[in-house]
Amino acid sequence: MMTIKLDGKKLAEKVKTRLIQRIADLKSKGIKPKLVVILVGGDEASKIYVRNKHRTAQKLGIETQDIRLQRTVKESELLTLIKTLNADDSVHGILVQLPLPEQIDAKGVINAIKPEKDVDGFNPQNVGSLFLNDPHSLPCTPAGILQFFEEYHLPVCGKHVVIVGRSNIVGRPMAAIMLNHDATVTITHSKTKNLRKLTRQADILIVAIGKAEFITGEDIKPGAIVIDVGMNRNENGKLVGDVEHSSVNERASYLTPVPGGVGPMTIAMLMEQTVNFAERSADFDGKNVFNS
């Protein structure tokens, strides 16, 4: 079977193009969309994310500010910083890069971000709205994945979606979004028994675990749509996903490459979300994809 590549680079360009006019309209009203990223320490995937985020924001004329904090920073310091950013009207989006070091209670930090500025959609209020199928903001990675289904006209309604991984960034919100689109959803994780028996039943398989090439051709149903979220370095320092592309290729009907799949879409959606928030902050009468 010929596997069709879901081209995230190309689709991200399309998403970014639809932002240009909206950003210009905001600027003509004296509003410059601004995103603040807080980084504590940082893993490999985070470094890639920060670099690409910057590049894209700069191209679009979205202002970004990185605040880098020592790995040993006190939780109280981080909370004070978030309070200041919450109160700053020039800031439309706040993103705290995950994972955070162990001494910091990630829940407390995420709770502290004002829901209206929570570009990742992590705040319990935003998570709750998403689960009630009335989202205020969508987490960027799952939102980006959803765009593939729309762009390539891939039906989700009634399909069996199996998600591997249940993180707050990817697995959980992805499950909610797919459920909101009338899929039948199975969420799996490290305690799941007979995982590969379940992955083989998936019409749509979404893998986000952070284990290089964990899912192979034998683990998927022929013709399945496979979304590879993973960002890992293999032993040769090469960027690889959670899916073994050599064996999944020609068995899947559609597959996202790594790089060039989900990653660029996450960034495009982050930009879009920042613009959405900037528009809402001014009660701006613009086009809003999540409220349309």
Ligand X SMILES: NC(=O)C1=CN([C@@H]2O[C@H](COP(=O)(O)OP(=O)(O)OC[C@H]3O[C@@H](n4cnc5c(N)ncnc54)[C@H](OP(=O)(O)O)[C@@H]3O)[C@@H](O)[C@H]2O)C=CC1
Ligand Y SMILES: Nc1nc(=O)c2c([nH]1)NC[C@@H]1CN(c3ccc(C(=O)N[C@@H](CCC(=O)O)C(=O)O)cc3)C=[N+]21
- 3-state DSSP call for residue 114? coil
CA-wise closest residue to 57 among 81, 37, 74, 82: 37
How far apart are CB 124 and ligand Y at their closest, in Å? 15
The answer to whether 11 touches 227, Cβ cutoff 8 Å, is no
Two tokens, residue 211 = 């284990």
Residue 272 has phi, psi (to 5 degrees) of -60, -40
Choice between 61 and 99, CB closer to ligand X: 99
Which residue is catalytic, options 7, 120, 203, 228? 120
Taking residues 113 to 132 in sequence order and writing x for each that binds ligand Y by CB under 6 A, - otherwise, the string is -------x------------
Comparison of 123 and 167: residue with beta carbon closer to ligand X: 167
C-beta of 61 vs 260, nearer to ligand Y:
260
Residue 133 token pair:
């199928």
Within 154-183, the residues that bind ligand X by CB under 6 A are 164-167, 169-171
Q: Binder to ligand X among 23, 36, 45, 119 (CB under 6 A)? A: 45
Subset of residues 187 to 226 that bind ligand Y, contact rule: CB under 6 A: none
Angle between helix 262-281 and helix 8-28 axes, rounded to 10 deg: 20
Given 53, 117, 159, 221, which residue is catalytic? 53
| Gyration radius from the chain CA atoms | 19
Q: Strand (E) positions, the chain?
A: 4-5, 34-40, 63-69, 93-96, 160-164, 184-188, 204-207, 225-228, 232-233, 239-240, 254-255
Which of the choices ligand Y, ligand X, none does residue 166 contact, using the CB cut-off of 5 to 8 A by kind? ligand X
Please, what is the minimum distance in Å from the beta carbon of residue 83 to ligand X? 26
Q: List Cα–Cα distances, 204 to 4, 117, 148, 241, in angstroms.
A: 14, 31, 12, 17
What is d(CA 154, CA 166) in angstroms, rounded to the nearest whole number? 23
166 is in an annotated binding site: yes
Does residue 135 interact with ligand X by CB under 6 A? no
**Does 48 help bind ligand X (rule: CB under 6 A)?**
no
- Bridge partners (DSSP) listed for residue 36: 65, 94
Asked if 93 interacts with ligand X (CB under 6 A), we say: no
Q: Pick the catalytic residue from 16, 97, 147, 221.
A: 97
Asked if 260 touches ligand Y (CB under 6 A), the answer is yes
CB 227, CB 256: distance < 8 Å: yes
The reply, when asked if residue 165 is annotated as ligand binding, is yes
Residues belonging to the binding site for NADP(+) are 165-167
**Contacts with ligand X, residue ranges (CB under 6 A):** 45, 141, 164-167, 169-171, 188-192, 195, 208-211, 229-232, 262-263, 266
**Contacts with ligand Y, residue ranges (CB under 6 A):** 45-46, 48-49, 52, 95-98, 120, 140-141, 169, 231, 239, 258-260, 263-264, 266-267
Active site residues per annotation: 53, 97, 120
Residues belonging to the binding site are 165-167
